[in-house]
């Protein structure tokens, strides 16, 4: 069927066309639908729609006081009487209607976006203006969720050109607000996530701010992970700052540890994520655009990216992580952001603690210089060192280490926490863990051969993470640890007994720490062989 773009299903349907040209208008009386659909939607009688050449699944333009509003139409021979127009609640409100008014209804051609979406399906890259049109139509619900789903599916299958990624990023930025700071450059840090217990962000921000750099960091909450940075920082100070307060905190202290969602920096991303999530797709190019747009909106021009990789992390192979790093760097160049990337070990949790309270406590312990947190400390110092190098340090990692060991990083952390409404003398001992505990022991002697990150997350969520602030997991053993039968593998913390019980059940079913012998597999000579 090559070359037959014009073939129509069911022998009847045509694509977007001008066949409704020359059709008229009709005046109808408004009736509230009592139905709060997401999209603007109207219902009209078939006789009225025939009058103006409107078919099912068309759009109509509804005009009141000279202002047209576009809506998807449903046809009926029962729900609406001839002469009536049922209007969905949101549209009633945005048109300022209460029912009983007369409106003018005409056929409304498909928005240009539908043609652009069709082009994305056919692997034809969109221009800056076309990307902008589609994304504005998504944000303003001028196209339907099914049309949005079709576009995102096409992007998932066909990918985006480099230019398109740039256009999408810029349009995401344009959809919201952009912060400006009195001084520059503005530094930022981002981890693409996927590794439980990755509590390094407050350390990285504190070290960089202690060295005199401006780093107003926003973080996210967990969606399906056990705990986002915002989820555990919230244990000890405010994270829903709003743009003005965030600016004030950053200009006062050099740093900030805010929840990005509170500022609605790039609102179009919300509409996109609502469609992507149920489909279970996540085009990497859109992830890049989304991350970079938030950095743009924060006014950042120096960025260090943490890309954890390894089996079980979001990026499984080193070559995949390198390819991603190069794309981030190239996109950063076009956006005027200097990007450096760190490929980090994502095979098992960072540190021992997972969940809001446990991670908050361990994060502060690492700043306080407690023993046994070597990997947390090393990762934070390595990443902060890269930021310091970007800022012109002679030996960033060395400087970062000195700021931790000399206590300046902890002092800066307490200063930021105080500016965000927390205690100025906050210590790790102030952070309570859940009052309910359950211990998971090894069913056998051997070695921890591997840890399944996703299964650990399941157990932590069953315990109440990220909502119950005391809930989570504290590991006793990690990969390659020797363990005896009956020895403690990890402790579950929860805010109530039910959830502790539930998490224990999940842990016993899943066994996220895989304990085996050093002898992994035996291949035996079968009788008769040789």
Residues 27 and 95: their CA atoms lie apart, in Å, by 16
Binding mask 71-110 for its own copies (x = CB under 8 A): -x-------------------------------------x
User: Is 125 an interacting residue with respect to its own copies (CB under 8 A)?
Assistant: no
User: Applying CB under 8 A, which of residues 149, 174, 330, 411 lies at the interface with its own copies?
Assistant: 149
Residue at token pair 């992994």: 520
Please, which of residues 370-399 interact with its own copies by CB under 8 A? none
Catalytic residue list contains 39: no
What is the DSSP track for 464-476? Answer: TTTTSTT-EEEES
Tell me: does residue 357 bind its own copies (CB under 8 A).
no
Applying CB under 8 A, which of residues 196, 254, 255, 283 lies at the interface with its own copies? 283
Contact at 8 Å (CB) between 74 and 42?
Answer: yes
Strand partners, 491: 439, 474
* DSSP helix/strand/coil, 139: helix
Pure H helices in 280-395: 284-297, 318-335, 356-368, 374-390
By beta-carbon proximity to its own copies, the closer residue of 223 and 524 is 223
From the list 90-98, 150-158, 483-491, 511-519, the region that binds its own copies by CB under 8 A is 150-158
Query: Nearest distance from residue 367's CB to its own copies, in Å?
Result: 24
Question: Which of left, alpha, beta for 473 (phi over 0: left; psi -120 to 50: alpha)?
Answer: beta
In the complex, minimum distance from the CB of residue 44 to its own copies, in angstroms, rounded to a whole number? 15
When the beta carbons of 298 and 400 are compared against its own copies, the nearer one is 298
- Should residue 163 be labelled a site residue for its own copies when binding is judged by CB under 8 A? no
Window 218-257: residues binding its own copies (CB under 8 A): 220-225, 228
Q: What span, in angstroms and rounded, lies between the C-alpha atoms of 82 and 159?
A: 47
For its own copies, the closer CB: 209 or 226: 226
The span from the CA of 406 to the CA of 395, in Å, is 16
Among 31, 227, 276, 381, which residue sits at the site for its own copies (rule: CB under 8 A)?
276
The interface region with its own copies, picked from 93-101, 309-317, 354-362, 429-437 by CB under 8 A, is 309-317
C-beta closer to its own copies: residue 19 or 127:
19
Distance in Å, CB of 273 to its own copies, minimum: 6
Q: Which of residues 327-346 bind its own copies (CB under 8 A)?
A: 327
Contact (CB, 8 A) for 462 and 510: no
Q: Which residues is 256 bridged to in the sheet?
A: 216
Counting contacts by CB under 8 A, is residue 492 touching its own copies? no
Contacting residues for 179 by C-beta, under 8 A, at least 6 apart: 216, 243, 246, 247, 297, 298, 299
Q: Does 154 bind its own copies (CB under 8 A)?
A: yes
User: Which of the residues 282, 340, 389, 430 is marked catalytic?
Assistant: 282
The residue within the footprint of its own copies, chosen from 369, 454, 497, 517 (CB under 8 A), is 454
Cα 423 to Cα 160: distance, rounded to the nearest angstrom: 47
Any residues with CB less than 8 A from the CB of 514 and at least 6 apart, and which?
448, 449, 450, 451, 452
Enumerate the active-site residues. Answer: 282
């Amino acid at each position: 069927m090559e070359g037959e773009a014009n073939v129509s299903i069911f022998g009847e349907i045509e694509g977007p066309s001008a066949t409704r040209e020359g059709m008229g208008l009709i005046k109808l009386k408004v009736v509230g639908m009592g139905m709060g659909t997401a999209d603007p939607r109207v219902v009209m009688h078939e006789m009225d729609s025939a009058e103006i050449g409107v078919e099912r699944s068309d759009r109509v333009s509804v005009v009141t006081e000279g202002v047209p509003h576009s809506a998807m139409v449903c046809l009926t021979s029962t729900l609406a009487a001839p002469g009536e127009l049922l209007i969905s609640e949101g549209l009633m409100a945005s048109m300022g209607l209460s029912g009983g008014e007369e409106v003018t209804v005409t056929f409304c051609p498909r928005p240009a976006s539908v043609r652009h979406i069709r082009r994305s399906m056919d692997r034809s890259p969109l221009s800056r203006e076309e990307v902008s049109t589609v994304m504005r139509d998504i944000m303003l619900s001028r196209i339907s969720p099914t049309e949005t789903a079709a576009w995102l599916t096409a992007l998932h299958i066909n990918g985006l050109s480099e230019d398109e990624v740039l256009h999408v990023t810029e349009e995401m930025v344009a959809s919201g607000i952009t912060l400006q700071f009195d001084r520059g450059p503005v530094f930022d840090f981002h981890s693409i996530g996927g590794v439980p217990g990755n509590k390094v962000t407050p350390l990285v921000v504190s070290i960089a701010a202690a060295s005199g750099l401006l780093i107003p960091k926003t973080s996210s909450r967990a969606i399906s992970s056990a705990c986002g940075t915002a989820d555990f920082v919230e244990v000890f100070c405010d994270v829903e700052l709003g743009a003005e307060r965030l600016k004030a905190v950053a200009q006062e202290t050099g740093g900030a540890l805010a929840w990005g969602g509170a500022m609605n920096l790039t609102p179009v991303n919300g509409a996109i994520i609502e469609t992507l999530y149920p489909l279970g797709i996540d085009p990497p190019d859109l992830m890049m655009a989304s991350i970079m747009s938030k950095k743009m909106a924060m006014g950042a021009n120096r960025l260090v990216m943490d890309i954890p990789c390894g089996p079980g992390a979001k990026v499984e192979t080193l070559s995949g992580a390198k390819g991603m790093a190069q794309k981030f760097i190239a996109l950063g160049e076009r956006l005027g952001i200097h990007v450096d990337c760190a490929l980090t070990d994502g095979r098992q949790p960072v540190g021992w603690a997972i969940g809001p309270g446990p991670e908050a406590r361990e994060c502060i312990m690492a700043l306080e210089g407690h023993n046994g947190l070597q990997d947390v400390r090393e990762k934070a110092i390595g990443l902060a060192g890269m930021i310091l190098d970007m800022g012109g340090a002679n030996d960033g990692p060395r400087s970062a280490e000195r700021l931790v060991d000399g206590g300046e990083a902890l002092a800066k952390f307490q200063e930021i926490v105080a500016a965000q409404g927390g205690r100025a003398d906050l210590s790790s001992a102030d952070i309570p863990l859940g009052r309910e505990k359950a211990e998971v022991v090894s069913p056998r002697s051997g070695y921890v051969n591997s840890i399944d990150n996703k299964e650990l997350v399941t157990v932590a969520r069953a315990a109440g993470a990220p909502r119950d602030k005391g809930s989570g997991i504290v590991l006793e053993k990690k990969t390659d640890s020797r363990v005896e039968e009956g020895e403690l593998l990890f402790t579950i913390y929860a805010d109530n007994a039910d959830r502790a019980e539930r998490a224990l059940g999940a842990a016993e079913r899943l066994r996220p720490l895989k304990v085996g012998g050093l002898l992994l597999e035996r291949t035996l000579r079968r009788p008769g062989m040789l």
